[in-house]
Amino acid sequence: MDAIIQTFQLTKKYKDETIIKPLDFSLKKGEICALIGKNGAGKSTFFKILAGQQMPSSGEIQLFGKSGKEIETAKRRMAFMVETPAFFPDFTAVQNLEYFRIQRGIVDKKRMYEVLEIVGLAHEKKKRFNDYSMGMKQRLGIALCLLSSPDCLVLDEPINGLDVEGIMEIRKLLRKLNQENQITILISSHILTELDLLATRFVFIKNGVIVDDLSRELLEEKSRKQILLTVDDSAKTVQLLERAYADIQFKVLPNQEITIQNYVERSGEINRLLVENGVMVKEFSIKVMNLEEYFLGLVEEDTHD
């Protein structure tokens, strides 16, 4: 598979603080890759470095296998929506795109109408940008990205502030661009349930470090099942579990709840162990984790391994 973006030991420091620690990352052709992390994890900084809005402190970036002076040419095959684009409020969609088309030296005038058709704004001929809904504004932002016919889109929080309908429209649009137009997508969002519905790969970043990198299949396998316990004495339960299973992975939650991430196939045995040792098990169930829970398990500090 061809790598579209590759970084080698990429870092970013501000004064004494290292925002991005030596980062090796690659984005392969055809992927919809979700970059997931809390605020301040380094996502936006990473996107700004890729877009050329910030310079890395050290390390190397390759785009489509090109680096150094050749990277600017390769960057023309990319489109970035890292901050909300500044459109003219009194212009229509066509007027706005016409301005950017001329500014960017895109000769083909037809392309404006094609991209408005792709993002579902072709019928909004007279409406001024100011009167657009948030979802329409984001779709025009994506239309602007598509103006130069890129092979790869890098989108930072494209569904931020959208209502349910707007979110659904953007999801459908991105899926269509990926499947029908073969556009590779790198995306971040706080709305993990949406990324779960969209992405083919999930990269988790914490304090500027990639802590996990999973395909959809692997994520589904890893997050498939866990045991959920409610007991009368979580401290005693933890002792019993650690004594019986050396490599048990669990998390203690409030209200005497415990989740166990492995040994799911030995759930009956675990239940018996607790009951025979005087722990009152109020609830014992096996639940499927979603992306959000998997993410929290990775980034919270109090996970036991």
Query: CA-to-CA distance for 197 and 72, rounded, in angstroms?
Result: 33
Residue 301 lies in a domain: no
The CATH code of the domain that includes 66 is 3.40.50.300
Query: CA-to-CA distance for 189 and 175, rounded, in angstroms?
Result: 15
Whose CA is closest to 195, among 50, 295, 287, 83?
Answer: 295
Query: CA-to-CA distance for 294 and 251, rounded, in angstroms?
Result: 12
Q: Are residues 268 and 185 in the same domain?
A: no
Query: CA-to-CA distance for 176 and 112, rounded, in angstroms?
Result: 18
The answer, yes or no, to whether residue 101 has pLDDT greater than 90, is yes
Mean pLDDT of 260-264: 89
**Percent of the chain, pLDDT > 70?**
97
Q: Kind of pairing, strands 32-36 and 201-206? A: parallel
> With bands split at pLDDT 50, 70 and 90, how would you rate the model's confidence at 19?
very high
The answer, yes or no, to whether residue 171 has pLDDT greater than 90, is yes
> With bands split at pLDDT 50, 70 and 90, how would you rate the model's confidence at 303?
very low
The answer, yes or no, to whether residue 207 has pLDDT greater than 70, is yes
Write the single-letter amino acid at 245: Y
**The pLDDT value given to residue 273:** 95
Of the candidates 162, 194, 220, which is a domain's last residue? 220
Mean pLDDT of 186-212: 93
Residue 120 lies in a domain: yes
Q: Are residues 184 and 247 in the same domain?
A: no
The answer, yes or no, to whether residue 67 has pLDDT greater than 50, is yes
Q: Are 294 and 222 in contact (CB under 8 A)?
A: yes
**The pLDDT value given to residue 302:** 42
**The pLDDT value given to residue 150:** 97
**Percent of the chain, pLDDT > 90?**
78
Residue 101 lies in a domain: yes
Q: Are residues 162 and 229 in the same domain?
A: no
Q: Are residues 129 and 235 in the same domain?
A: no
**The pLDDT value given to residue 287:** 83
Say which range, 101-115, 215-229, 236-250, has the weakest mean pLDDT: 215-229
> With bands split at pLDDT 50, 70 and 90, how would you rate the model's confidence at 80?
very high
Q: Are residues 187 and 107 in the same domain?
A: yes
Give the burial string for 97-122 (b: 16+ CB within 10 Å, else e).
Answer: beebbeeeeeeeeebbeebbebbbbb
Alpha helices in the chain (DSSP H): 43-51, 71-75, 93-103, 110-118, 134-146, 164-180, 192-198, 216-222, 234-244, 267-276, 291-299
**The pLDDT value given to residue 1:** 54
Q: Are residues 58 and 157 in the same domain?
A: yes
Residue 266 lies in a domain: yes
Of the candidates 220, 252, 276, which is a domain's last residue? 220
> With bands split at pLDDT 50, 70 and 90, how would you rate the model's confidence at 304?
very low
Residue 292 lies in a domain: no
Q: Are residues 198 and 254 in the same domain?
A: no
Mean pLDDT of 268-286: 94
Whose CA is closest to 205, among 7, 1, 3?
Answer: 7
Query: CA-to-CA distance for 58 and 8, rounded, in angstroms?
Result: 9
**The pLDDT value given to residue 289:** 73
**The pLDDT value given to residue 295:** 85
The model's pTM: 0.80
Residue 117 lies in a domain: yes
Residue 232: other Cβ atoms inside 10 A: 12
Phi, psi values for residue 99, rounded to 5° = -60, -50
Write the single-letter amino acid at 196: D
Q: Are residues 122 and 109 in the same domain?
A: yes
* Structural domains of the chain, count: 2
Q: Are residues 90 and 28 in the same domain?
A: yes
Q: Are 206 and 23 in contact (CB under 8 A)?
A: no
Q: Are residues 276 and 164 in the same domain?
A: no
Residue entry with tokens 């390390």:
59
The answer, yes or no, to whether residue 92 has pLDDT greater than 80, is yes
Residue 68 lies in a domain: yes
Of the candidates 205, 220, 235, which is a domain's last residue? 220
253, containing H or E segment: strand 250-253
Query: CA-to-CA distance for 116 and 124, rounded, in angstroms?
Result: 9
Query: CA-to-CA distance for 270 and 1, rounded, in angstroms?
Result: 44
Q: Are 9 and 60 in contact (CB under 8 A)?
A: yes
Beta-ladder partners of 153: 79, 185
User: Containing domain of residue 234, as a range?
Assistant: 225-287
Residue 294 lies in a domain: no
Q: Are residues 208 and 235 in the same domain?
A: no
Q: Are residues 147 and 48 in the same domain?
A: yes
Mean pLDDT of the chain: 92
The CATH code of the domain that includes 240 is 3.30.70
pLDDT digits (tens, 9 = 90+) for 115-162: 999 999 999 989 999 999 989 999 999 999 999 999 999 999 999 888
Query: CA-to-CA distance for 266 and 270, rounded, in angstroms?
Result: 6
